[in-house]
Structure 1
Amino acid sequence: MEVGRLMAGPAALLMSIRHQAGALHTLQAAAAPHPPRSPPQPSHTQTFSAGRPGPAWHSPGEETEVSEPGGAQELEEERKAPGKSPKEGEESGDLSSLSPGEPSPARLARPGLARQETLRETALRSKMSRLIEATSRLVQVEQTLLLPLLQQHPLPLHPKDSIEFRNICSHMALQREGQQFERDLHEAHQCLKTIIEKLICSLAVFPSDSCIPVRSALRQILQNLLAM
């Protein structure tokens, strides 16, 4: 019988909690914002200086070396033109120097794609947030409510599920994005769902009303998880 081969008691639960806590830490790290990427400064400066000659972009000792007549006057006229400023020109230069894979230029050039990516990213962030919240809440319930019950009555537990959950989260953290990341996120969701459902089933045979608050808390976590 499968139940007879399962670990039971506080030691098994503590093992599960340890792996779930490790998975939670990994999920939180994976959900952290990406570091911003900026174009290399040397190439940006060279491109900008080459495209916009004039005294304003040279040191005082270099002003006499400007060979293009009227350069300073043209620059002054551009500064006075409505809606035009050096800051705006610089921003335009920044966008043009980025690669096609950068998110900002792609979204500016293709608003439809920007909306699609924004909705997708928002859905992934929401799903990750709910998974982190459910994992955190599960660890808390196990530590504060379930562990004392196991001191009175051993229950069939499934530590292997928690090990698998941690492994999935570790693999997902290496991806950070893309289709594999989404698949791992889905598998992590399903694995945590299985862990909670098995705990609820184990508590169904507990011979005491003291397990009612635990079952209620676990059902609430499961409900929030399934709301994804």
Structure 2
Amino acid sequence: MGSLLESQVGQKKHGQPWPAWHLQASISHQTVALQTLRLLQQQRDRNEGQSSTQHVSTAPRQASRREDQEKGKGPEEAKLRGEEVCVPKTRDPGQCKLAHVAVHTVLAHLVEITLQLVQVEQTILNRLHQELNFPVYLKDSVELRNICSHMGQQLEGQAFDQDLNAAYQCLKTVIEKLIHSLVSLPADVPALACIAPRQVLQNLLHL
């Protein structure tokens, strides 16, 4: 990775053309990230569906527990007999629900932005890059793919939430650098050639 960065910096300093394959490679890494994100969506949806089913199936057991307590077999009666009572700690269902909804929303948002970015690169930026050879920073797309791959090993929890935020920030960096590359093109490049793709990328940042 270090040699790749040195190559990019050297090309920029000496005005040498950027490798034409950088954009295609970036699209490839972003596509892998997108596939991983979609699989995560599907897996989490399945897990949430199973969790809902299990929640419904525990209702009879909870009713039975209440009946036992009414008959003097509950925790209070056990305490009177000197028996050890283990009361499971439960998280607030409302907080859990809100957390799941928030993660679901951010994940769906990330999938949508990544999909649109890949489409813009394939349909607009690819041809423009062949003509103008603007800088494409491959390392950010590689990092995005790696973060999403790590997310796939977590599925949920604090580590997953951290990766989700990191993936969003990394995707934002990819888009911002593409915009900067278009803005920084030489003055002799027709402005109209870059206005449309630049605006499309700007719109992605505000989705």
Given the two structures, how large is their TM-score scaled by the length of structure 1? 0.65
Paired residue for 1:115, among 94, 119, 125?
94
In 1: Cα distance, 2:39 partner to 2:176 partner: 26
Out of 88-97 and 190-199, give the one that drifted further.
88-97
The 8 Å contact of residues 11 and 18 in structure 2, kept in 1 or not, is answered as no
Look up the match of 1:125.
104
Change (3 A) 1:96 1:210: farther
Aligned length: 164
Give the percent of matched residue pairs that are identical in Structure 1 and Structure 2: 40
Q: CA-to-partner distance for each residue in 1:150-186, whole Å, 9 max, x for gaps?
A: 1211111101110010000000111000000000001
- Structure with the greater alpha carbon radius of gyration: 1
Extract unaligned runs of 5+ from structure 1. Answer: 40-87, 98-108
Shift of the alpha carbon at 1:120?
1.0
In 2: Cα distance, 1:114 partner to 1:90 partner: 15
In 2: Cα distance, 1:122 partner to 1:90 partner: 22
Paired residue for 1:14, among 21, 24, 38?
24
Look up the match of 1:210.
193
In 2: Cα distance, 1:188 partner to 1:177 partner: 15
The 8 Å contact of residues 38 and 111 in structure 2, kept in 1 or not, is answered as yes
In 1: Cα distance, 2:60 partner to 2:151 partner: 36
4+ runs deviating over 3 angstroms:
1-7, 88-91, 93-97
In 2: Cα distance, 1:34 partner to 1:201 partner: 40
Change (3 A) 1:204 1:22: same
Paired residue for 2:122, among 143, 162, 165?
143
Partner of 2:133: helix, strand, or coil? Answer: coil
Partner of 1:27: helix, strand, or coil? Answer: helix
Look up the match of 2:203.
220
In 2: Cα distance, 1:93 partner to 1:31 partner: 31
Q: CA-to-partner distance for each residue in 1:6-32, whole Å, 9 max, x for gaps?
A: 782531100000000000000000111
The 8 Å contact of residues 32 and 145 in structure 2, kept in 1 or not, is answered as yes
Change (3 A) 1:12 1:90: closer
In 1: Cα distance, 2:114 partner to 2:58 partner: 46
Is 1:92 matched up with 2:60?
Answer: yes
In 2: Cα distance, 1:197 partner to 1:25 partner: 22
The 8 Å contact of residues 9 and 151 in structure 1, kept in 2 or not, is answered as no
The 8 Å contact of residues 10 and 147 in structure 1, kept in 2 or not, is answered as no
The 8 Å contact of residues 26 and 173 in structure 1, kept in 2 or not, is answered as yes
Partner of 2:135: helix, strand, or coil? Answer: coil
Given the two structures, how large is their TM-score scaled by the length of structure 2? 0.71
Paired residue for 2:46, among 34, 37, 45?
34
In 1: Cα distance, 2:106 partner to 2:154 partner: 16
In 2: Cα distance, 1:137 partner to 1:124 partner: 20
In 2: Cα distance, 1:182 partner to 1:22 partner: 20
Q: CA-to-partner distance for each residue in 1:95-151, whole Å, 9 max, x for gaps?
A: 879xxxxxxxxxxx97x8111111111111111111000000000000000001112
Partner of 1:157: helix, strand, or coil? Answer: coil
Shift of the alpha carbon at 1:205?
2.4
Q: CA-to-partner distance for each residue in 1:36-70, whole Å, 9 max, x for gaps?
A: 2677xxxxxxxxxxxxxxxxxxxxxxxxxxxxxxx
Change (3 A) 1:210 1:174: same
Extract unaligned runs of 5+ from structure 2. Answer: 1-5, 66-88
